[in-house]
Amino acid sequence: MIKLGVNIDHVATLRQARKEEFPSVIAAAASCEKAGADSITVHLREDRRHIQDKDVYGLRESLRTKLNLEMAANEEIVAVALDVKPDYVCLVPEKRQELTTEGGLDVAGQKKKLAQIVAKLKASGIFVSMFIDADIKQVLASHEIGADCIELHTGKYAQYFKRFGKNSKEFKSELKRISEASNKAVGAGLVLNAGHGLDYDNIAPICSVAKMNEFNIGFAIIARAVFVGIETAVKEMKVLLK
Ligand SMILES: CC(=O)[C@@H](O)[C@H](O)COP(=O)(O)O
Ligand SMILES: NCC(=O)COP(=O)(O)O
């Protein structure tokens, strides 16, 4: 069964709307774990639009499963990661003006810088993942710089599912691209994860990708939780990963 990492950024989005102390990110994570989440993902952005440093430190103490910290490859955030020591770090691209993550990290274009950060994180016992597009060049570069894992960006997969439909040539071509990048990653000994824009409608086709380790899913689960509660929303997604 493919594991489920739940990204709880948007519990913090709601809290930050009023700069309140509730809804609690710590309590949300505990509910996700109770419902069967295999890990909890939070994205500590440079602009702190949702997750705050205190959330990351609090989750480090409170989680029973694993803490996956998504972050940009910058000095300030790397220092936080080295202090918190999450189980996993996933290096992602960030642009302040972006609504959400728009693409994968260009690992191939900055190998020297990223290799140094990967080495520092791994020396602290942190498992390092690279958030990349389904591009063989990026997969090979991730392996070259010593990453343990890749997380394939499924934003285009989700867009094409919605815009063209699962039987369209556009969607099938993107799923094929994901499968090819996945095979290359597994062949290189990388752990294979995927995420971004995955939801209850589009999750089935990507479950067929061989050796998929874990999906990181956030927005769709938190949106569903508004109506059914977070435990039910997580359980409903877990069932789809069987
Ligand atoms: C990297 C990725 O696709 C998401 O995990 C990321 O967290 C999206 O950023 P927001 O959560 O700020 O939308
Ligand atoms: N890395 C993907 C993630 O953690 C969640 O992305 P989304 O489901 O909120 O789009």
Domains and CATH numbers, the chain: 3-241 (3.20.20.70)
**41 CA closest ligand 2 atom index:** 4
Tell me how far CA of residue 172 lies from CA of 34, 167, 176, in angstroms.
Answer: 35, 7, 6
In this prediction, residue 98 carries a pLDDT of 87
> In terms of DSSP bridges, do strands 39-43 and 214-217 run parallel, antiparallel, or are they unpaired?
unpaired
pLDDT digits (tens, 9 = 90+) for 16-32: 999 999 999 999 999 99
In this prediction, residue 242 carries a pLDDT of 78
pLDDT digits (tens, 9 = 90+) for 94-113: 987 888 888 999 999 999 99
In this prediction, residue 31 carries a pLDDT of 98
User: For residues 1 and 239, is the Cβ–Cβ distance under 8 A?
Assistant: no
Helix (H) / strand (E) element for 216: namely strand 214-217
Our mutation pick for probing the ligand 1 site, out of 101, 130, 215, 222, counting the most ligand atoms within 8 A of Cβ, is 101
In this prediction, residue 95 carries a pLDDT of 86
This prediction has a pTM of 0.97
pLDDT digits (tens, 9 = 90+) for 122-151: 999 999 999 999 999 999 999 999 999 999
Q: Over range 209-214, report the average pLDDT.
A: 96
Pocket lining: 41 vs ligand 2, CB cutoff 6 Å: yes
Count other Cβ atoms within 10 Å, centred on residue 83.
12
In this prediction, residue 96 carries a pLDDT of 79
Please, which pLDDT band fits residue 46 given cuts at 50, 70 and 90?
A: very high
In this prediction, residue 97 carries a pLDDT of 85
User: Whose CA is closest to 31, among 63, 3, 53?
Assistant: 63
Contacts of 173 (CB under 8 A, 6+ apart): none
For ligand 1, atom 9, name the residue with the nearest CA. Answer: 100
pLDDT digits (tens, 9 = 90+) for 190-211: 999 999 999 999 999 999 999 9
Angle between helices 75-84 and 53-62 (to 10 degrees): 20
Upper half-sphere CA count for residue 174 (Cβ side, 13 Å): 23
Pocket lining: 143 vs ligand 1, CB cutoff 6 Å: no
